[in-house]
Structure 1
Amino acid sequence: MSKYAPPTFSLSLLHPRYWSVWFGFGLLAIIVNVLPYKVLRAMGFSLGKLSMRYAKGRVHIARRNLELAFPDMPQDEIESIVVQNFKNTGFALFESGITWFWPTWRLKRRLKSVNLDEVIEYGKQGRGVLLCHPHTLNLEISARGFAILGYPGYGVYRPHDNPAYDFIQFWGRTHNGNKLIDRKDVKAMIRTLKQGHRLFYLGDHDYGRNKSVFVPFFAVQDACTTTGANILFSVTDCAMMPVTGFRDQNGFYELNLAPSISDDYPKKDEVAGAAIMNKAYEQVILRQVDQWMWLHKRYKTMQDESQRKGIRYM
């Protein structure tokens, strides 16, 4: 069996040690299917705001990220974004439940799409597309949204340590038409793009200095940035398109593709390529700043190895 084989159901997953996982996801499935969307959103926002009392470390990280990314932003505006970001984070729990457990007809009613013509044309040409999606809090809905509209793709995932959780997560993300590739299975990613499929790529976080360079990301000039996109693009000659699925004030999700950055992306210059990628991510994140994952330490890895990791958050 391949070391990247997807999780499959077995009776061992029904062991009492996993009952809490099954109960939790079962309860989530009931809640998101029984309650109206507006009630779910209100509950999520309340949960997120309440969590600020008990996750003060994460509050500090979100605030510090915004201060580093937007040094000229007034402090009161930063605080407002932090609060809204936590509210959106709380709702993300229910949005994951919506993605995994809602029937297609119900979710489809909340989807809007713009600028899909280019990715459709690439599909007709049989050219693979690297969908460069930032870590938005409603990323799960974006991925399923594309499948619902008839354009399923491949996602990159990290297997969960809990086998029951891993099985449910994998099922939730794939039973709608999408497929998943283990994050370490680079050969499968390359093969997928060469075969003309769409691959979701999340290259906007700090993954450490291995296979990374230091380039600007918002106001921070030396943000540790992965070069994974350069590897995939150089080998497959795929198209590269920034994409988001932000939620508007009325609770609709707009799947929005920015124009391809393929023509400007250099194959042999990892630094220039990473800088172009970050600039593309910046432009789409700015559409809805409060829905990006600011709770992650985006600027933790320092270019100067003598400097302590995470020193910017001290």
Structure 2
Amino acid sequence: MTHLPKFSIALLHPRHWFTWAGIGLLWLLVQLPYPVIYRLGCGLGHLAMRFMTRRTRIARRNLELCFPQMSEQEREALVVKNFESVGMGLMETGMAWFWSDKRMSRWMEVTGAGMEPVHTLQAENTGVLLIGIHFLTLEIGARMFGMQAPGIGVYRPNDNPVIDWLQTRGRMRSNKSMIDRKDLKGMIRALKSGEVIWYAPDHDYGPTASVFVPFFAVDDAATTSGTWTLARLSSAAIVPFVPRRKANGKGYELMMLEPECSPPLDDAKTTAAWMNDIIEKCILMAPEQYMWLHRRFKTRPEGVPSRY
């Protein structure tokens, strides 16, 4: 596990100055009033859509695959809203890393099942596999949840040492520690000891340890078997949640779903299909805020052509 990182003088090397300048600008922007941050973030998203042409095509293709019943006009409107969320996601990363708990609390509320079920599981020393789907509110969602029930975040170390130091420090403001997503044994140990583990099973992580099951209108989406492995070996409860940005700059909802204490664990495919069904329901609570820019269907069965 990763604990609070120590600052190293090597992080001030001239090759990192551009990164530091960007971080400084982000820090300044998130000091502004939230309604201003909201307008800036949405505007940044519109600008990003003009330059991130490849990601725009991927988002359009994902929506076409997942929602074939949707008209082209509806999908295009969703792509535009999605890129507004991309811009806000950058701002929310700065908010998650730099805002105080007091300021964060002013702009959030817990809805749905609330935190009581999670606190009950913690009191019973039952591990919680927290399903943190890849919404563009991911960073601020982890911060909001951690303020209510600190746990352990699963992450991929960043190649940029400055960003890696900053994101680890930022994420640990409201969590106990971080763990590399490849450390399966570490995750199981933490769950068995009654910890909350933030886990995202909704992306395409490649052919290794994946199974092909339905996801929206796609019949054979490569889906990690990690949920099955973790739940089977740890007996943890599965708790999905949705960090939803309210419309028109009104703040955030931490939408907690009821814990799933007896997930179907017959085999990896059964669990993955069940998990995807829950993920679909979560995405539909805020479809414009989901990370459609990711090539969710890049891994294909052998001999089957690419969808992109």
Fold in common (TM above 0.5): yes
TM-fit CA distance, 1:76: 0.8
TM-fit CA distance, 1:252: 1.9
TM-fit CA distance, 1:280: 0.5
1:185-219 deviation line (CA, Å, top 9, x unaligned): 11211111111111111000111110000000011
TM-fit CA distance, 1:175: 2.4
| Residue 80 of structure 2 corresponds to residue 83 of structure 1 | yes
1:267-293 deviation line (CA, Å, top 9, x unaligned): x41000000000000011100100000
Alpha-carbon distance between aligned partners in 2 of 1:240 and 1:177, rounded to the nearest angstrom: 18
Alpha-carbon distance between aligned partners in 2 of 1:212 and 1:5, rounded to the nearest angstrom: 30
Matched with 2:307 is 312
Matched with 1:107 is 104
Alpha-carbon distance between aligned partners in 1 of 2:59 and 2:34, rounded to the nearest angstrom: 27
1:58 to 41, 51, 55: 55
What is the DSSP-based 3-state SS (H/G/I as helix, E as strand, rest coil) of the residue aligned with 1:187?
A: helix
TM-fit CA distance, 1:184: 1.5
2:14 to 13, 16, 21: 16
1:116-172 deviation line (CA, Å, top 9, x unaligned): 2221211111101001121000111111112222x0111111111121221111111
2:94 to 97, 100, 110: 97
Matched with 2:220 is 222
TM-score, length-normalised on structure 1? 0.93
Task: List alignment gaps of at least 5 residues for structure 2.
Answer: none
Q: Which amino acid aligns with 2:208?
A: N
1:73 to 70, 74, 92: 70
Alpha-carbon distance between aligned partners in 1 of 2:3 and 2:245, rounded to the nearest angstrom: 34
Task: List alignment gaps of at least 5 residues for structure 1.
Answer: none
Alpha-carbon distance between aligned partners in 1 of 2:183 and 2:157, rounded to the nearest angstrom: 12
TM-fit CA distance, 1:238: 0.3
Q: Indicate the larger mover: 110-119 or 214-223.
A: 110-119
Q: Indicate the larger mover: 281-290 or 257-266.
A: 257-266
Instruction: Assess if the C-alpha contact under 8 Å between 1:243 and 1:255 holds in 2.
Output: yes
What is the DSSP-based 3-state SS (H/G/I as helix, E as strand, rest coil) of the residue aligned with 1:65?
A: helix
Alpha-carbon distance between aligned partners in 1 of 2:263 and 2:178, rounded to the nearest angstrom: 28
Alpha-carbon distance between aligned partners in 2 of 1:100 and 1:178, rounded to the nearest angstrom: 15
What is the DSSP-based 3-state SS (H/G/I as helix, E as strand, rest coil) of the residue aligned with 1:274?
A: helix
TM-fit CA distance, 1:17: 1.2
Give the 4+ runs in structure 1 shifted more than 4 A: 4-7
1:47-73 deviation line (CA, Å, top 9, x unaligned): 111111111111111011011001101
1:170 to 136, 150, 168: 168
Matched with 2:157 is 159
Alpha-carbon distance between aligned partners in 2 of 1:300 and 1:251, rounded to the nearest angstrom: 36
- Root mean square deviation of aligned Cα: 1.5
Instruction: Assess if the C-alpha contact under 8 Å between 2:152 and 2:175 holds in 1.
Output: no
Alpha-carbon distance between aligned partners in 2 of 1:208 and 1:272, rounded to the nearest angstrom: 19
> Matched residue pairs, number?
305
2:37 to 23, 40, 43: 40
Q: Which amino acid aligns with 1:101?
A: F
Alpha-carbon distance between aligned partners in 1 of 2:238 and 2:222, rounded to the nearest angstrom: 21
